[in-house]
């Protein structure tokens, strides 16, 4: 359980770092910048458009929605949910 708690907190920290990167980019350009999940995955070499295109119907729609969200939101929600699930029990 401790390993899952650690992973959950790492995901929360990663989400905060991604949010900070978007904030710094917004300050640099003078306009709001939000990197989507698709754009960040594209930076590491994952073709999100092909992934969505080759998925079955319902999964394709869900992936399309997720790829349009900011990555800090996706990672942050997963991290917070895992943090709540694997919290220490008294």
Average pLDDT estimate for 10-31: 96
pLDDT digits (tens, 9 = 90+) for 62-78: 999 999 999 999 999 99
Q: pTM of the predicted model, to two decimals?
A: 0.85
Question: Mean pLDDT score of the chain, rounded to an integer?
Answer: 94
Give the distance, in angstroms, between the CA of residue 46 and the centroid of all CA atoms in the same chain.
14
pLDDT confidence bin for 41, thresholds 50/70/90: very high
- The reported pLDDT for the residue numbered 25 is 95
Q: What is the DSSP string of 37-82?
A: HHHHHHHTT--HHHHHHTS-HHHHHHHHHHHHSBHHHHHHHHHHHH
* Sequence ranges of the domains in the chain: 1-34+70-90, 36-69
């Amino acid at each position: 359980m401790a390993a899952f708690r650690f992973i959950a907190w790492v995901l929360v920290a990663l989400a905060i770092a991604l949010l900070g990167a978007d904030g710094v980019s917004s300050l640099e350009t003078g306009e709001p910048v939000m990197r989507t999940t698709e754009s960040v995955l594209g930076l590491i070499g994952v073709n999100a458009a092909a992934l969505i295109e080759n998925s079955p119907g319902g999964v394709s729609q869900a992936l399309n929605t997720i790829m349009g969200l900011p990555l800090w939101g996706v990672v942050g929600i997963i991290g917070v949910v895992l943090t709540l699930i694997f919290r220490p029990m008294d």
